[in-house]
Structure 1
């Protein structure tokens, strides 16, 4: 008899929160300050990004409840459009969607920890973290669940504690306007805002992560909407608080163009010694991010392996239902990114490609309702069709500006899609041969 267990709703929420709170919120403010110097507009970036993520979560809640199978966009797009579209989406998720963010979170972990303890090599710290987390999640599910829940709880507590300490201990707050002033309206409609929004949307990436392991969530059709919505709202509040804190305590000039914005903010509040301690603490936050993406991402490879014999070994699971080989493959790709790519190139490219993935999935709710109006839907998107329309409008706006200002990102995305299409036709042909 199988002893397989499932992830409880609290663990599933921990996976989402840990997936979302990671590299983006601790690094992207420095890039946003290159073009935007208004405190109000910078905070609104995170509010708009949160609304976008919430609208996406409301839409995914209906899709996940109506099409309950692990795999995220791979499952949705295969069922809504065509298996080829789903495969390409899964290909993107498997090669970029999770491996790239894992590498970014690990690199950020290495950067913060090496700042706290001089002499440590940031790159090898990133490699070590990925290896340890991989080992933790390829064994028993109970060990995996405990690892995730503990580090997510630590993450939330440390963020709240960091913000409160900064508010209490800062000697001089910065002259930043957090209420709108003349010119802010035009700035929010500018290309700079749209481009900055891609960084913010990347920081919110992960709100959909639980849909990658629907089959492993306890009573998923009933619990999924609550998990998605509550987790996204929690992260939105934490993101606004963090960026408010960074801007309140550190000069914009000091943060501009920098990756380790949390460390710089801590320097201005706690001094060099205190900043080193805070940097060490902030590095710990990235552990649960790498952990959560190591749980969710390989489930895409797993379901691809279930559907295509060419990749059948990726569907192999251990006695506790965990796809160990798929986890090893994703971690291997992440390690490759750490060793050969720059931080900013990974961030821009993966942010662009991931936005394309969710764009097609959210649009799919209109297609699914039209084609299968009688499909059982345990949950229907609240205020439909507003949430998917808002998500599509904001995401498209940001993608168009990125394609104009960074055309190489669009070209790389097109090349990745073309390669995925080639793999799909090869895999389908192999399926036909072995039948």
Structure 2
């Protein structure tokens, strides 16, 4: 391990790109709310931090869609367990990478070490996608689900039910194309109203983060408590439902749900499940604050992923035990299951009490969104400190003296995410949640796969593997890499070409990132060296 660290140090201090490398490495280093302190983070703090980051909006939005696509209780639960296994393999892979580097930075640092040539390419591509696609995509997806639960709290109806009622239509095959029209062709209510509700939620969260760091932290901690309490209620209520609704539960578990189970239906659920597990690598962004990362990270990562996997399993058991199968699976190809928790509470407590619980779910989702808003603004500040944004970096990295908050970065994040929700979300016919969650998840997995392969490259270049404190077993790394390959390739198997929209968007942004790297780093650095050589030549001749 000493040789690896020496190689990293030599690489960072070689050539004219020393400062550029260090600045890019800081872009994805998400700071934590607490001050940097080497003795701060221990195992229990790390577990809590990881669990809070992983459990978010996905678990109250994706299970219904997964059930509707796969149709079989046993297969659905197996998919969620497989998602947990792949996430566990990834978290253990990142433990070894964290033990090697012992510093914050996450993928940016690991990719820099694994792929030093072409200079900064992989690190820059990840930083670009992380700042402009992955973080905003995650936030937009979370806000979309929050808006749908907000809508249910107000109207007592799901988005699709309200649309059908207002359109005076039934769910026949002839109606499906109209219901799947792009946003610009839909009436203001409810599609655009739900979109603007999502922007309103983002505005509220952004404003209180602008006004005070202290109060933002207090509010976010309160929302985190509400989130964990609400999801615990769902898991516990599921066992209550097993006893109260024995007929429904028995029918759901003994009978295959209606509909087909072709391979395309499975592929449509993969990214959604992995989106729900997203966050297992969060501790690697703050290793500078971790106490003895080699010893503590393995426990924090593995235990937190295990806890989340068990909770996701129980929540899915709760949903299938309570919600009637006709609510879980329909023959209509419409994304009307993103508020399954509302139907869950409706079955147990009736419509009036359901609104109370959906409001708690809304607050829980806001807590998840708040974490993304907080960390996303700091990512923008870190990127601006590295002059990542030409012309605007100076303004984006400034903190307001009165409020001691990065107001400009928060405002830029609000504008960019609002732009994505209105113009990108309104230009595709799949649901905004699927669009943004799959966009962020697929983009992330491109670099997860590259990082997993990168660990093998780092091992190959290391001459003293036996000195490493922790070396993840090769089969575990293999599971992570194989999972990445299957996720990235299997996602192309769809029965509707429109479902490929997030994937094509991801590669489109990646292409823009590649062009940006070429002009801002490779081409510019080459020209700079040529000018310096010419100046030195002139000086020598004189």
Please say whether Structure 1 and Structure 2 have the same fold, judged by a TM-score greater than 0.5: yes
Secondary structure at the residue paired with 1:206? coil
Q: Which residue of 2 aligns with 1:208?
A: 281
Secondary structure at the residue paired with 1:45? helix
Q: Which residue of 2 aligns with 1:371?
A: 461
TM superposition shift of 1:133: 3.0
Q: Which residue of 2 aligns with 1:227?
A: 300
Cα distance in 2 for partners of 1:272, 1:104 equals 26
Q: Which residue of 1 aligns with 2:332?
A: none
Secondary structure at the residue paired with 1:360? helix
Q: Which residue of 2 aligns with 1:401?
A: 490
Q: Which residue of 2 aligns with 1:131?
A: 203
Q: Which residue of 2 aligns with 1:34?
A: 68
1:45-84 → structure 2 map (5 Å cutoff): 45-82=79-116, 83-84=120-121
CA contact (8 A) 2:383 2:389 kept: no
CA contact (8 A) 1:14 1:149 kept: no
Q: Which residue of 1 aligns with 2:436?
A: 346
Q: Deviations over 1:148-195 (max 9, x none)?
A: 4433232222211222124225434423565999xxxxx7x9454343
Q: Which residue of 1 aligns with 2:231?
A: 159
TM superposition shift of 1:355: 1.6
CA contact (8 A) 1:94 1:330 kept: no
Decide which of 402, 419, 422 is 1:336's aligned counterpart: 419
TM superposition shift of 1:200: 0.5
Decide which of 126, 138, 143 is 1:106's aligned counterpart: 143
TM superposition shift of 1:264: 1.0
Unaligned regions of 5+ residues in structure 2, if any? 1-33, 157-189, 330-334, 426-431, 533-542
Rate the CA distance shift 1:331–1:228 in 2: closer, same or farther, 3 A: farther
Q: Which residue of 2 aligns with 1:184?
A: none
Residues 221-230 or 340-349, more deviating: 221-230
Secondary structure at the residue paired with 2:155? coil
Cα distance in 2 for partners of 1:162, 1:11 equals 24
Decide which of 260, 268, 293 is 2:347's aligned counterpart: 268
1:275-290 → structure 2 map (5 Å cutoff): 275-290=354-369
Q: Deviations over 1:54-89 (max 9, x none)?
A: 111111122123224444222221222131111111
Secondary structure at the residue paired with 1:207? coil
Residues 168-177 or 37-46, more deviating: 168-177
CA contact (8 A) 1:195 1:398 kept: no
Q: Which residue of 2 aligns with 1:417?
A: 510
Rate the CA distance shift 1:425–1:143 in 2: closer, same or farther, 3 A: farther
Cα distance in 2 for partners of 1:391, 1:12 equals 22
Cα distance in 2 for partners of 1:282, 1:13 equals 22
Cα distance in 2 for partners of 1:224, 1:140 equals 31
TM superposition shift of 1:321: 9.8
Residues 288-297 or 82-91, more deviating: 288-297
Q: Which residue of 2 aligns with 1:296?
A: 375
Rate the CA distance shift 1:177–1:113 in 2: closer, same or farther, 3 A: closer
TM superposition shift of 1:248: 0.7
Cα distance in 2 for partners of 1:393, 1:193 equals 17
TM superposition shift of 1:316: 5.1
Cα distance in 1 for partners of 2:407, 2:154 equals 33
Tell which structure's C-alpha radius of gyration is larger. 2
Q: Deviations over 1:214-253 (max 9, x none)?
A: 3455665554333322222221111111111111101232
| 1:171 corresponds to 2:245 | yes
TM superposition shift of 1:96: 1.8
Decide which of 239, 247, 258 is 2:312's aligned counterpart: 239
Residues 242-251 or 369-378, more deviating: 369-378
- Per the normalisation by structure 2, the TM-score is 0.69
Secondary structure at the residue paired with 1:175? helix
Secondary structure at the residue paired with 1:380? coil
TM superposition shift of 1:389: 0.8
Cα distance in 2 for partners of 1:15, 1:324 equals 25
Cα distance in 2 for partners of 1:401, 1:100 equals 21
Cα distance in 1 for partners of 2:405, 2:144 equals 26
TM superposition shift of 1:425: 2.5
Q: Deviations over 1:381-421 (max 9, x none)?
A: 44x11222112212322321212325444432222111001
Rate the CA distance shift 1:24–1:269 in 2: closer, same or farther, 3 A: same
Unaligned regions of 5+ residues in structure 1, if any? 182-186
Rate the CA distance shift 1:326–1:366 in 2: closer, same or farther, 3 A: farther
Decide which of 154, 158, 161 is 1:117's aligned counterpart: 154
Rate the CA distance shift 1:348–1:234 in 2: closer, same or farther, 3 A: same
Decide which of 457, 471, 475 is 1:386's aligned counterpart: 475
Rate the CA distance shift 1:139–1:68 in 2: closer, same or farther, 3 A: farther
| 1:25 corresponds to 2:99 | no
Cα distance in 1 for partners of 2:68, 2:194 equals 25
CA contact (8 A) 1:11 1:148 kept: no
Residues 118-127 or 319-328, more deviating: 319-328
What's the C-alpha RMSD, in Å, of the aligned pairs? 3.5
